[in-house]
Amino acid sequence: MTAVLETRDLKRRFGAFVATNDVSLKIERGARHALIGPNGAGKTTLVNILTGVLPPTSGQVLLDGEEITNLPSHTRVKKGLTRTFQINQLFADYTPLEAVMLAILEREGLGSRLWAVVGSYRKTVDEAAALLARFGLASVMADRTNRLPYGKQRLLEIALAFASKPRVLLLDEPAAGVPEDERHEVLSIVSDLPADVTVVLIEHDMDLVFSFANRISVLVAGAIFAEGTAAEIAASPDVKAVYLGESA
Amino acid sequence: MSLPVQESVQTGAEEQHVDQSRAHRLMQRRTTVRSFEILIWLGALATVYLLPSKMLILTEIAILALFAVSLDLVLGFAGIVSLGHAAFFGLGAYTAGLFARYVTAEPVAGLLVAGAAAGLLGYATSFLILRGSDLTRLMTTLGIALMMAEAANQMAWLTGGADGLSGFSIDPIFGLVPFDLWGRNGFIYYLVVLFLSTLVARRLAFSPFGLSLKAIKSNPVRAALVGVPVRRRLITTYTVAAVMAGFAGALLTHTTSFVSPDVLAFHRSADVLLVLAIGGTGYLYGGIFGAIGFTLLKDALSVVTPQYWMFWIGLLLVILVLVGRARLTRWVDDLGERLPGLRGTNR
């Protein structure tokens, strides 16, 4: 088994509260791995540690066997690890086109160019247009992000992360808060992500989890409570008791 | 194109082509020169001939405008609030004075040296403003400016202390164009420096670098997660802005052939913020419009009520802040929308 993303004894304290408790996790290359758990289980904290938004108190994070525990977020993105946010973290004044242009230019290492004109990177503009079309954003490419319908903003969340060409993409509740009629579009985008991108899905929605994931880790009180294939997790009486049982 | 073609097949090659040409058009339109930009520079040039008796106040405006454009890079693009931008202005002014006194009084050489000195200080202090909230940054920048002011005051052997630095007169520009009594040649020189600096700032604003700056301002966490090295970008911006503020300080020295300790005073940092509050931030010309507004207002008010003009400036400030800076920056856009075809996409 080749783990593309791995954590070793990851721990994060906030004062006396332990938000992440000795999490050792292996995500296989190309996996559709879901991270589930009740509210406050520490799912988002874990994603924040993985992507360098929060430093861990102790433990290690490895990407393709290389330690990245102390690298800043932008370096992790360059190495192929990126994420979306549960609550939109977008550039409010930018159009989807501008935001995606930014992400592609940074991926290509062109972001530090002081003297070039953004529009002169014709290949980048072409790629941005194709990416926006792929994520259902072509029709709104010139609208300000904060005026987009919520579903479109969620799609832009994913498009922005995808523009970095990640090897590992962490999706933090991609469909959270999306109205029912826009939900289908988000879900089909998520299930159509290319197979060579490893996807870690943090999700509450059990239908989405079981339709999408081939492997599931259950996080309870900051620690890994159970891990296995979707079928194993669905059949586990322990998981039902602490987690699924609540909603059943 | 390197994307795996999946959805784009559904939309069809034709639609894809439509999307792409639209994207190209939109990207091109960002950089289009807007009509007010041409107007403002033509207007500035025209004043040389139309208002020959007003060269001194126009010079004051040009210098303040350059200083404000510099702060706009930091505040309006990178989103760093500063209450100590005068540190760079003052260092530029003193450097230009000392350079003229001890090395050569040719102004362009002095200008470049002053810019370099201010840029060095900007680079060195940029590391102090990388982290922290707006309040931390306000206090850090204020603190640095206060220390600079006190240092200039204490180092009387070099700076003349409270008496100021004098004993030099500025040579002709490039040894060719003398500063005349009416300030006409001086004003043209300041205008050229302002124009070139604004061009540079404009170029930066529309570059990939500039695109990342406003993203940092808008959401630094997300900017890092699309791959923007936030710290490095802020260091570069702060340094470039410091160079421009140093230029502005040098221009003041060249105007007066004297450096007063006042160049590092707190009110300069506050005034330039006020200029941006009037002119708006984040579209480059706020500094220029603001400097015109601020200087003319100050001039008019100090004639009407010589002792109480600060009261009216204060009142204006309160109104501006309550009305909201966003509404102020929007008027240029709205103007563009009313004149279709001239509009640059969002600001």
Task: Say whether pLDDT at B341 is over 50.
Answer: no
For chain A positions 179-198, those within 8 Å of chain B (CB to CB) are 192, 194
Count of alpha carbons within 13 Å of A157, Cβ hemisphere only? 26
pLDDT at B305: 83
pLDDT at B132: 79
pLDDT band at residue A234 using 50, 70 and 90 as cut-offs: confident
Q: What is the 3-state secondary structure (H, E, C) of A27-68?
A: EECCCEEEEECCCCCCHHHHHHHHCCCCCCCEEEEEECCEEC
Please state, in angstroms and rounded to a whole number, the distance separating the CA atoms of residues B338 and A143.
18
Convert the pLDDT of each residue in B138-167 to its tens digit. 999 999 999 999 999 999 999 988 899 998
pLDDT at B343: 39
Angle (CA) B312-B314-B317 rounded to 5° is 110
Task: Say whether pLDDT at B12 is over 80.
Answer: no
Convert the pLDDT of each residue in B1-10 to its tens digit. 444 444 444 5
Task: Say whether pLDDT at A7 is over 50.
Answer: yes
Selection from A87, A90, A54 nearest residue A69 by Cα: A54
pLDDT at A182: 86
Residue A220 backbone phi and psi in degrees, to 5: -135, 130
**Treating both helix axes as pointing N-terminal to C-terminal, what angle do B286-304 and B55-72 enclose, rounded to 10 degrees?**
130
Q: Which DSSP state fits A161?
A: H
pLDDT at B290: 94
pLDDT at A183: 87
For chain A positions 16-55, those within 8 Å of chain B (CB to CB) are 51-53
pLDDT at A195: 92
pLDDT band at residue B131 using 50, 70 and 90 as cut-offs: confident
Convert the pLDDT of each residue in A56-96 to its tens digit. 999 999 999 999 999 999 999 999 999 999 999 999 999 99
Check residues A229 and B317 and name the one with the higher pLDDT.
A229
Chain A residue whose CA is closest to B240 = A114
Report the pLDDT averaged over residues B79-99: 96
Segment among A21-30, B144-153, B331-340 with least mean pLDDT: B331-340
For chain A positions 58-77, those within 8 Å of chain B (CB to CB) are 72-75, 77
pLDDT at B8: 46
Q: Which DSSP state fits B177?
A: B
Contact A168, A198 (CB under 8 A): yes
Q: What is the mean pLDDT of chain B?
A: 88
Residues of chain A with C-beta less than 8 angstroms from the C-beta of B225: 51, 53, 73-74, 77, 82-83, 89, 161
Give this prediction's pTM: 0.89
Distances (CA, A) of B230 to A70, B78, B181, B233, B236: 16, 10, 48, 5, 10
Mutate: best of B207, B232, B330, partner A, most A CBs <10 A:
B207
**Residue tagged 């159009």 (tokens):** A95
Check residues B303 and A170 and name the one with the higher pLDDT.
A170
At A28, list the tokens: 């296989």
β-pair partners for A220: A223
Segment among A30-39, A203-212, B45-54, B284-293 with least mean pLDDT: A203-212
Please state, in angstroms and rounded to a whole number, the distance separating the CA atoms of residues B172 and B186.
10
pLDDT band at residue B344 using 50, 70 and 90 as cut-offs: very low
Q: ipTM of this predicted complex?
A: 0.92
H or E stretch covering B70: helix B55-72
Residues of chain A with C-beta less than 8 angstroms from the C-beta of B346: 93-95, 144
Residue A170 belongs to a domain with what CATH number? 3.40.50.300
Q: Which DSSP state fits A177?
A: T
Domain count, chain A: 1
**Residue tagged 């930014």 (tokens):** A102
**Residue tagged 């204020």 (tokens):** B142
Selection from B66, B52, B44 nearest residue B111 by Cα: B66
pLDDT at B16: 84
Please state, in angstroms and rounded to a whole number, the distance separating the CA atoms of residues B211 and B208.
5
Q: Which DSSP state fits B76?
A: I
Task: Say whether pLDDT at A38 is over 90.
Answer: no
Segment among A52-66, B163-177, B221-235 with least mean pLDDT: B163-177
pLDDT at A211: 87
Q: Which domain holds residue A25?
A: 3-247
pLDDT band at residue B179 using 50, 70 and 90 as cut-offs: confident
Please state, in angstroms and rounded to a whole number, the distance separating the CA atoms of residues A82 and A99.
15
* β-pairing verdict for A3-14 and A58-63: antiparallel
Q: Residue B314: CB partners within 8 Å, gap ≥ 6?
A: none
pLDDT band at residue B76 using 50, 70 and 90 as cut-offs: very high
Please state, in angstroms and rounded to a whole number, the distance separating the CA atoms of residues A186 and B94.
59
Contact B64, B190 (CB under 8 A): no
| C-alpha distance from A73 to closest chain B C-alpha (Å) | 6
